[in-house]
Chains A and B, each alone.
Chain A
Amino acid sequence: MRANPLFGLCLAFAVVASGCATSFSPRPVAEVPFKARAQTQVQDGLTVTVAVPTAEEAEAIYGVDLADKGLQAVWVQVRNEEDLPYWFLTSGLDPSYYSASEAAYAFRSAGGDGQAVLDHFESLQFKNPVYPGATASGFLVVHRDEGYKAVDIDLISREKARSFTYMILDPTFKGDYTLVDFDALYGSGEIVEIEEEEALRRELEKLPCCTANKGGTGYGDPLNLVFVGNNEDIFPAYARRGWHGTEIIWRKAAWRTVKSFLVGGRYRYSPVSPLYVYGRRQDLAAQKARGNIHQRNHLRMWLSPLRFRGKRVWVGQISRDIGVKFTTKTPILTTHVIDPYVDEARRYLLEDLAYSQALARVGFVKGVGEATRESPRFNLGDDPYFTDGLRVVMFFEPRPRTLADIDLVDWEPPPRPLTSLNREVSDARR
């Protein structure tokens, strides 16, 4: 029997309408198993546990779809075995976080006059302070980050301040990095363990010069970045400065990118195209949206087989999209243009991460080699670029650190304007 389309439409309508009429019925927190993914850290008398429910779990707990409004819940538990009360600084977690009443307002039509929703949101909220000998726990409603959530917990008392940082993966996000099994990338025989700085420098200078196309027959943008550190130090540092992961190119991401292009909006996770190092596409890409999709800074990272004092070493590439140009190479006759002075994007990233509280040391090593403005090289998109040919090496450590704590490694003389740092070194030696 052929289905009557009218009947189908009515049925669909009835289903939608009944969906709207469901009552506000959140599930008890204990019944939602998100705490299985909780992470705990201890510093002296403070034990801090953090877990991030997925969008579905949060919907069960709150009884409404937080993700639909761009919101996310973070669960925090603080056990205080010291002798002073501590305050959890929510602005450190997200300076634009939502109060319970503000978040509840977005869902006020979900149950009756909105009072039930408000009461429920307030009962879930984390409440300060954490008294000596007590344990406090609850949720904070913050902006939704897809993929991974960098959770910074700062607790202050009259005498001390303590900082905790967590990196929590969303098991449902199809980030490009979810395609990669980082532990299986290299066999134990392939890992190169390095202890001495000079040995690290030599190994970094031997890394590939550039990204390549899939077949390895053409070379593209220079690999001008190296990161050394633990994941919990590197990735939250990026998040703190507004860098976000990118989705792999799949249908949902594609649609969101189209929307962003058409309405000029900001899709924070739009995919970036694949470039190849070690014969594989980037292990992960990150981007910092600016005005709109035409203007963004993006970088790609690959895990290298190097380990420095037990820490992972990543190699990467950054460029700055500065606009759109006419081209005969695409169906819509436009393409992104990168700032040809690629060193500017490299310096920008270094500065940006200097404010991330987690950058400890910086050095420069030889990379692709110099290309002048008069005779630039070209990337795979036929965009010209010029560079001093160096790569910046950034060492990450646990936060907090300030600008004034950042040290320089004495390798290649830093390029202009950073040359001044080196001059200081030689002045000091004199």
Chain B
Amino acid sequence: MIKLHKVSKSFSQFQAIRSISLTINKGEIYGMIGASGAGKSTLLRLMNLLETPDEGEVEVNGQDLTKLNGKQLRQARQSIGMIFQQFNLVANKSVYDNVAVPLELAKVPKQERRNRVVECLQFVGLEALSDKYPAELSGGQKQRVAIARALANRPQVLLCDEPTSSLDPNTTAEILGVLENINKSLGVTIVIVSHEMDVIKSICTRVTVMADGEIYDTVSIEPEGIKQLSNQPNWFTEQLTKDGEKNHA
């Protein structure tokens, strides 16, 4: 589904990615983890050419993105969804209009657009909030709007750049649940970049560990499942006092 072939990327003097090759299969939930500055976000951003590689090829859906012209690249990007740590919603557009934007870009007729927006909002459980503006939503709700927006054009791939890193643990679990559901029920290939080990371990099937712009290791893992946390105050107390579980939460 995604193939990187000897991809390199530098920012002025700093070499962020050093000749990386990797293959992500269809239907996988693929994780990328590593310390800050290891290059994991850059690697993800190379997959839709938000960063242009200095060398190497980036193949998504059987197309070499580096060989496309501007218009073809824009077209290709419409079937590669992306979500961000900071959600990046248009604050002056309602939830409905935010989800409608990618459909407008893809020139989907109005009636069909309406149906699809409602469908996507239902999928993330936010159909009741379609007239709200992002400022009126919680972080988790904003991320779900961003997910609905990314899904609007029925992408084959969903790129997630630290999708839960600005969310609390409960909301994180909720967003991971949505991502897992997208993978299971829609068959979308998902790539997640995160520095949170729990996030990666809970839903990924294969994980690349990155260090200094290179792949340190790639391992196949059995996803542990999403930890169901509680909102109750006694749960917090329990976690604090339970022996040997100090690193748990």
A and B assemble together? no
